[in-house]
Every structure is written in structure tokens, then in C-alpha cells.
Amino acid sequence: MNKEISKIIDFVKEKRFVPKTELKEYIKKISNCVDITANRKIESLIKIDKLIKVNKTEYSTYNIKETDNRIVYIGLKQNKEIINYVKNRLYDLKKEKSPSNQKIILRDISLYEKEIIYSSNIDDLIEILDKNKTDLELNYKIIGVIENLIRKNNAYVENEEKLLQILKRILKENPKYDKKFENLKRFICYILAYFNDKEFLVQLEKDLLTEPEDYVENTYFVPSIAEHIDKIKEELLKLQLKLNNKGYKKKVDLLLQIRYKANENLGLIDSKSSDII
């Protein structure tokens, strides 16, 4: 594969799916060619099964948010194959009755979490999560997959209320950090933050009062929830005052650090030139 083709493939891979017009402009820039030549290069890569075309009938299949039905998107042939593979595995997962086999299928799906954007059938995972009341390890794996699809890939959830209800139940049943399932509470908190659910604030207060400081830092200092932290700044100020009135000075400081870190992650402050008061 020559350097030019490698650059084109890498560009599409980074974008996942890119409008054909945008890809043509990129090729014209790196190859110093005209529009018709750039179009020929794209068509030749489609012909040798490196790239695929995605039209309006396939937008939903690839989670493409586009209002103009005339736009053709370009993606990698490999991505299409992986998406279809995962789609089939999710179908298998829905039919499978054995918890141990379900775990194997989920582990297989997790091999491709970072390589695809795929959201259809996420409600099938929620159904399995709802039915399984005894196997925490299976639920842990399912929640990890759901969190990845929702938070990183903006997967659409048809029954958002049901998902949040299930997650709150699991959180209530597992209130303390468990090293065996170290990210269970974190995954749930991140999904709650993504949907701006009030339970996130409730759980934050509980974690401040009951979990070690390093757990709180590792959970709430992350960039992915910074936007939600900013949205609830008034509620967090009230919580700071509440904790202060109860004499929890260190908890107040830790909560302030969470807010500071969120502002830093959002680019609202410069960590190099600003300190917490």
C-alpha cells in the first residue's frame, strides 16, 4: 500500500464515516489534484474493497446523524464487516440462555468496542441486564459494554428510563467499591452523568462520605463527566455548604477539587497558572 492510500485510509479510519465531499477535499489537498481525480481515487479504493459508500438508507445502520439525505458517506470496508459481526453476536447474546456463554459472547464483542460505532440492539443488552438478577459478573460486563457504546459512541437508547432504573437498582445492591468489579459503580455513575440524572449527585455525596479519597479522585476527576459537573455547579455548591456545616472540611476540599478538575478539563481554567483557593 503506497503512502497516499495509507493516508486516505487513516483519514477515513479516524473519522469512522466521512462525507464524500470532505474526503475529496482531503485527497485534493494531499495529492494536489483536481476534483475529478480525487473522485477517481475514491472509486478505485471502493472497487478494491478498501472503502464503502453509505447512502441515506444505511445512515441508521452506522449511527450516522445526518439530515441531508443526499449526502454520501465513505467508510472502511473492514468497519462494515466488524459492525455486521457484532450485530450477529448481539443477536446470539439475546438468544443465549447460559450466563457463562453470555459472558463469552460479551467478551468477544468487547474486542471491537474501540473499532466500531454501532448502536442498534443496545436495548437487547438492557433486556438481558433486567432479567439477570443473580450473576453480578455478567451484569458488570454488560454495563461495561453499554457504557462504552453510550458514552464513547453516543448510542441511542430507546428505553432510557428503564436503563436508568435498572442501573439504580444495581447501584443500590452494590453500594461499596468492590475490587473484583472495580469499575461497576464508575460505569453506572458515568451513564447517570451522560443522561444528566439526579442520582449522580446522590451517589457523589455517598462516595465522598464513604469511599477512600483515591477512589473519589479516580472516579470523578475524569474528563468525560466534566460537562455534567459544570451543569450541576449550583447543586454542588449547596452540597459543599452542607458538608461544611457538618464539619466535613476535607470532604469540602475534595469536592472543590472535583469541580476544579472539571473546569480544567473543560478548558475554563489554566492549570498552570491557577490554584484552588
3-state secondary structure the chain: CCHHHHHHHHHHHHHCEEEHHHHHHHHHHHHCCCHHHHHHHHHHHHHCCCEEEECHHHCHHHCCCCCCCCCCEEEEHHHHHHHHHHHHHHHHHHHCCCHHHHHHHHHHHHCCCCCCCCCCCHHHHHHHHHHCCCCHHHHHHHHHHHHHHHHHCCCCCCCHHHHHHHHHHHHHHCCCCCHHHCCHHHHHHHHHHHCCCCHHHHHHHHHHHHCCHHHHHHHHCCHHHHHHHHHCHHHHHHHHHHHHHCCCHHHHHHHHHHHHHHHHHCCCCCCCCCCCC
**23 occurs within a structural domain:** yes
**30 occurs within a structural domain:** yes
**112 occurs within a structural domain:** no
Looking at residue 1, its pLDDT comes to 57
> CATH no. for residue 28?
1.10.10
**218 occurs within a structural domain:** yes
Pairing label, strands 51-54, 17-19: unpaired
Contacts 24+ apart (CB under 8 A), 185-188: 185/219, 186/218, 186/219, 187/143, 187/144, 187/146, 187/147, 188/143, 188/147
**The domain boundary residue, chosen from 35, 59, 78:** 78
Contact partners, residue 143, CB within 8 Å, separation at least 6: 129, 167, 170, 184, 187, 188, 191
Q: Return per-residue pLDDT of the chain as tens, 277 residues.
A: 588 999 999 999 888 889 999 999 999 999 999 999 999 999 999 999 899 998 888 887 777 888 898 999 998 887 778 878 877 887 888 888 888 898 888 778 777 755 544 445 577 788 888 888 888 988 898 898 889 888 877 777 888 999 999 999 999 999 999 999 999 999 999 999 999 999 999 999 999 999 999 999 999 999 999 999 999 999 999 999 999 999 999 999 999 999 999 999 999 887 654 554 4
Looking at residue 99, its pLDDT comes to 85
**100 occurs within a structural domain:** no
- The phi and psi torsions of 26 (rounded to 5 degrees) equal -65, -45
- Of the candidates 152, 133, 141, the residue with the CA atom closest to the CA atom of residue 181: 141
- The phi and psi torsions of 54 (rounded to 5 degrees) equal -125, 115
Max distance between CA atoms of the chain, in angstroms, equals: 71
**The domain boundary residue, chosen from 78, 93, 123:** 78
Looking at residue 117, its pLDDT comes to 47
Contact partners, residue 243, CB within 8 Å, separation at least 6: 208, 251, 252, 255
**The domain boundary residue, chosen from 32, 49, 78:** 78
**27 occurs within a structural domain:** yes
**188 occurs within a structural domain:** no
Domain of 256 in residue numbering reads as 198-277
CB atoms within 10 A of CB 130: 15
Contact partners, residue 23, CB within 8 Å, separation at least 6: 8, 11, 12, 38, 42, 74
Residue 12 grid cell: 477515513
Looking at residue 271, its pLDDT comes to 61
CB atoms within 10 A of CB 5: 14
pTM as predicted: 0.67
Pairing label, strands 51-54, 73-76: antiparallel
* Count of domains forming the chain: 2
